[in-house]
Structure 1
Amino acid sequence: MNDVITPDDLPAWVPGESTLDSAPLGWEGVRIRRWRYTALDIAVPGLSDYMVVAYKRGTTLMNRRCTGDWRNEHVAPGCVSVLTHAAQSHWRWSEDIEVVHLYLSPTSVARIAADAYDRHIRDIELHDVLRADDPVLGGIAECLEREADGDGVGSRLYADALRNQACVHILRRYANVVFREPTRSGGLSRARCRMLAEYIDENLDRAISLQELASVVQLSAFHFTRKFRAEFGRPPHAYVMDKRVERAKAQLGRRDIPLKAIAAACGFADQSHMTRIFRRALGVTPAEFRRSKIG
């Protein structure tokens, strides 16, 4: 698979005027961004996230090619386009348009799919949909757009609820889900995996020992480590540290939280520990990452 780009990289490939971005709000697994575009003819590398394009203003003939032949549809306010993650695409249109991009992280979509089907997920690929008249998905994008513009009471809870609704709707209407076969060595059940993930998220602000995690699912530390690696693809310590970095990245999008407070909230021993982990994982310090997010 070719390297993918992030939503932050997208303007280098699809130049336009961004008039709204939810990134500073630190929503988890979902992001909304509003764009104004002139006529373009652009080839785009695969995107790390699943993307929904909700058309707001302007009407144009949209031409797009992903893995197959060119597809042509007239797009207008009220309709949406859907693009699976990591898929290269080529887009052409001739008129000025205003759109909203709804980005959903593969982690969030896979988690919702695992809960919905109560099975382990190997992959989720969205259908090649250039135009759909979908008031539900368009309405979710519009609600997230208004929330990003206003940031009202309970903003993160509201964004989480809309993210979950979008994921379930997409799974029902646009997704091909490939399930993972059970491990021969006897891994953890879906219920135990969910229990562990929730326990780690709820206790991420403090030290979590291997024995503590093993006791959550009533296993010895030895058997727990083997089964955890089989299901999560990495040792427990690495998974917990990745979750700390993921939470810190979300909080670093806000100017009003000091680095020391972020380190404490994410369970790092101190600010210098967070800096070391960020350098190892991302090649930048937390301060450098914050500058790149906020500008």
Structure 2
Amino acid sequence: MPLLPCAAHHVGEQPWRGVLLERHEIPSMELPEHEHRELCLHLQVRGDDQMQWWSEGRHGVERTFPGSIMVVPPGTRDRTLWKGASERLIVSLKPGLLEEVASSADARMPEFKTGWSVNDAGLQRILAEMGREASEGWPLGRLYADLTAANLASALLRRHAFDPVNLGPARGGLPVPQLRRVMEFMTANMDRDLHLDEIAREAGLSSFHFAREFRSVTGQTPYQYLLDQRIDRAKWLLKDHAWAVQEVAGMTGFQSPVNFVRAFRRRVGVTPGAWRKQG
């Protein structure tokens, strides 16, 4: 079900757990009183708007602009009036994701502050990154999507809770921009027989250091991540194109059709040909 009654884009299967993201073109309109069942965020992407809100017996007027963020906790009942058109990324987070991140610091799930026009550059970057991944069809796959969603939950717990959750110092490992660069390199070159050395060079690290840091952040070895990406690409090629299985094997970096069929069956449970027939 869409997060707003107006038309939404990028609705459908999404790779992250516990997150629903939509892009909405919002006209000048009034949204009648409603209750938020989950924590909801709006990032204004385009438009210079004046918005009025009514909630819990209070009323306010906000001047919003690209980069403005709304943070609306679960249980909030509100009515809003947008006086101008805007484009917004709207994200809803299920409690399980926030609870999982909070429990990693042995903390209870906190209550969150309501914000009708929040200025938080870090939160803005994370939401914009999620929007970019969605608009490009999630090219870096489920792993990067889940890491981005976890970063979003962490930012909310640290900076937008009444009792901020101390998640401790940031873990070691690859910074997100460096991680993205490496994942983009692997995705763009998955049709080649990639070597760990050349992947590590993208991160500016030795092979050993890179492999250790990548696993510490993602929970996967670089090989496991690349294999998942290759299988996902193979599914797409098998489903929407008339490529032969042998051709799909070459296009996804497998050295032989036999290796491709074996890896696909191990990961998916059936052969590529059987999977194509099921679809």
**Shorter-chain TM-score: what band?**
0.5 to 0.7
Match of 1:127 in 2: 113
Structure 2 distance, partners of 1:17, 1:9, is 8
Structure 1 distance, partners of 2:116, 2:145, is 25
- Unaligned runs of 5+ residues in structure 1 are 1-7, 180-253, 257-264, 266-295
Deviation at 1:176, TM superposition (A): 2.6
| Deviating 4+ runs (over 4 angstroms) | none
Do structure 1's residue 114 and structure 2's residue 114 form an aligned pair? no
Match of 1:174 in 2: 160
Match of 1:236 in 2: none
Match of 1:156 in 2: 142
The residue identity in structure 2 corresponding to 1:104 is: L
User: Per-residue CA shift, 1:56-114, capped at 9, x if unaligned?
Assistant: 11111111122241121100001111000121111111111110101111111111112
The residue identity in structure 2 corresponding to 1:156 is: R
Give the secondary-structure state (helix, strand or coil) at the position aligned to 2:80: strand
Deviation at 1:157, TM superposition (A): 1.0
Match of 1:69 in 2: 58
Match of 2:84 in 1: 95
Match of 1:41 in 2: 30
Do structure 1's residue 137 and structure 2's residue 123 form an aligned pair? yes
Is the alpha carbon distance of 1:142 and 1:19 closer, same or farther for their aligned partners in structure 2, counting shifts above 3 Å?
Answer: same
Structure 2 distance, partners of 1:10, 1:164, is 21
Structure 2 distance, partners of 1:162, 1:154, is 11
Structure 1 distance, partners of 2:150, 2:138, is 19
Structure 2 distance, partners of 1:31, 1:133, is 22
The residue identity in structure 1 corresponding to 2:121 is: P
Matching residue within 6, 30, 35 for 1:16? 6
TM-score (norm 2): 0.55
Which has the larger Rg? 2
User: Per-residue CA shift, 1:188-210, capped at 9, x if unaligned?
Assistant: xxxxxxxxxxxxxxxxxxxxxxx
Contact in 2 for aligned 1:79/1:135 (Cα 8 Å): no
Is the alpha carbon distance of 1:44 and 1:157 closer, same or farther for their aligned partners in structure 2, counting shifts above 3 Å?
Answer: farther
Deviation at 1:115, TM superposition (A): 1.2
Match of 2:247 in 1: none
Please list, as runs of the form range in 1=range in 2, the aligned pairs for 1:1-295 lying within 5 A after superposition.
8=1, 10-11=3-4, 15-21=5-11, 23-116=12-105, 118-119=106-107, 121=108, 123-177=109-163
Deviation at 1:154, TM superposition (A): 3.7
The residue identity in structure 2 corresponding to 1:16 is: C
Q: Which of 76-85 and 36-45 deviates more?
A: 36-45
Is the alpha carbon distance of 1:92 and 1:153 closer, same or farther for their aligned partners in structure 2, counting shifts above 3 Å?
Answer: closer
Contact in 1 for aligned 2:54/2:80 (Cα 8 Å): yes
Is the alpha carbon distance of 1:129 and 1:38 closer, same or farther for their aligned partners in structure 2, counting shifts above 3 Å?
Answer: same
- Unaligned runs of 5+ residues in structure 2 are 166-234, 240-266, 268-279
Sequence identity of aligned pairs in percent? 22
Q: Comparing both chains, which one has the higher relative contact order based on Cα–Cα distances under 8 Å and sequence gaps of 6 or more?
A: 1
The residue identity in structure 2 corresponding to 1:84 is: P
Deviation at 1:16, TM superposition (A): 1.6
Contact in 2 for aligned 1:62/1:74 (Cα 8 Å): yes
User: Per-residue CA shift, 1:217-272, capped at 9, x if unaligned?
Assistant: xxxxxxxxxxxxxxxxxxxxxxxxxxxxxxxxxxxxx997xxxxxxxx9xxxxxxx
Structure 1 distance, partners of 2:99, 2:121, is 23
TM-score (norm 1): 0.52
Deviation at 1:51, TM superposition (A): 0.9
| Count of aligned pairs | 170
Is the alpha carbon distance of 1:178 and 1:139 closer, same or farther for their aligned partners in structure 2, counting shifts above 3 Å?
Answer: closer
Give the secondary-structure state (helix, strand or coil) at the position aligned to 1:176: coil
Structure 2 distance, partners of 1:178, 1:87, is 19
The residue identity in structure 2 corresponding to 1:150 is: E
